[in-house]
Structure 1
Amino acid sequence: MEHRSFGQKEPGAVYRDRAGAYAVILDDTENVALVEAPAAGGPERGLFLPGGGIEPGETPEMCLRRECLEELGREIELDGLLCTGEEYLFARSDQRYLHVMGRCYRAVLGPQVQPPIEHDHVLRWVPAEWAAEHMFLNYQAWAVRLAWEERMQEK
């Protein structure tokens, strides 16, 4: 399993750590499931992998299943840990430095079991190659590239 770090830590800056779990879901036509949502708590929107922050007492897998229900209203089937990544960034919206860390899992999207409860999150299916160039977080874009390259090697 690979790990990569993106961004640079600014000297003297205080970072808020945020650990999360995320799903890389590819369909049969090499599209990836992304969530269009508010970026870093501000008015700007970005494209992200489904998933989110791990709450106290949750495993990454529990977090990912909960987040997919909240964001998509759907269950997922996990197919192994793909990679881990981290990124240092400055969130202009709330003037805060963030250190985001994510465990990215291969997953398959399951059935719709409830309406999504996060109404500002929208599921978008986009070509994996395109997604990797347009996502908000570099480490998540890297995870999409890894999954897509794996898929291409299988064919």
Structure 2
Amino acid sequence: MTQPFDSRVGAYALIIRDEQLLLTHWNPRHPGFEGAWTLPGGGMEPGEQPEQTMVREVFEETGFHVDSDGLVNVHSYWMSPEQRLDGQQRGNHACRVIYRAHITGGELAVEENGSSDDVAWIPLTQIGRTKRLDLVDQALRLAGLAGQVEGAPTPPETVAEQDVSTEPGRGGER
């Protein structure tokens, strides 16, 4: 018998310019986790298509307007109840749709009152030494770019991006 679990579909952008990767600092403002760098993107809203989600989320988190350059791949991540930051006592299956994208306008800006608290262009040569979520490594691998990342390897965080409130024990409110 299958145990109950939650699921979340998110769409993310792999944006590389001048040998630098655009990343956002995901900070759930949770006492047990300080946050880490990740790809811009996030959870789908009702009725959205994944590509629309990616475009909307990139703008919300970075201030940049983007166009998709196509699907990289889809990656799923199983999160045990112990990995969840919202206190739910069941697993969560995250389905992450990853696109390549390029900037068409806008200006670099940090999201206000959201789950991201910083945005930056990180040189590919520094990704291996950057505190990051596993999504970054998976996206680079799926895009065939893992070999471009240099430096002393820092293991990615074993926490997946989640929709969490600022109070432990409450459900994933957006």
Q: What range describes the TM-score normalised by the shorter chain of this pair?
A: 0.7 to 0.9
> What residue in structure 1 maps to residue 85 of structure 2?
93
What TM-score comes out, normalization by structure 2 length? Answer: 0.66
State the alpha-carbon separation in 1 of the partners of residues 75 and 55 from structure 2: 19
Aligned length: 139
Greater RCO (Cα-Cα under 8 Å, separation 6 or more): 1
What TM-score comes out, normalization by structure 1 length? Answer: 0.74
State the alpha-carbon separation in 1 of the partners of residues 70 and 128 from structure 2: 20
Structure 1 residue aligned with 2:127, among 131, 136, 145?
A: 131
Q: How does 1:107-122 map to 2 (within 5 A)?
A: 107-112=101-106, 116-119=110-113, 120-122=116-118
- Cα 1:132/1:110, change in 2 over 3 Å: farther
The gaps in structure 2 that reach 5 residues or longer are: 149-174
| Structure 2 residue 65 is matched with structure 1 residue 75 | yes
- Cα 1:59/1:132, change in 2 over 3 Å: farther
Q: Which has the higher strand share?
A: 1
- Cα 1:110/1:14, change in 2 over 3 Å: same
CA RMSD in angstroms, aligned pairs only = 2.9
Q: Which has the higher helix share?
A: 1
> What residue in structure 2 maps to residue 20 of structure 1?
10
**Percent of counterpart pairs with the same letter?**
31
Structure 2 residue aligned with 1:66, among 56, 75, 82?
A: 56
Task: Tell me by how many angstroms 1:15 deviates.
Answer: 2.5
Task: Tell me by how many angstroms 1:115 deviates.
Answer: 5.4
The gaps in structure 1 that reach 5 residues or longer are: 1-10
The residue identity in structure 2 corresponding to 1:52 is G
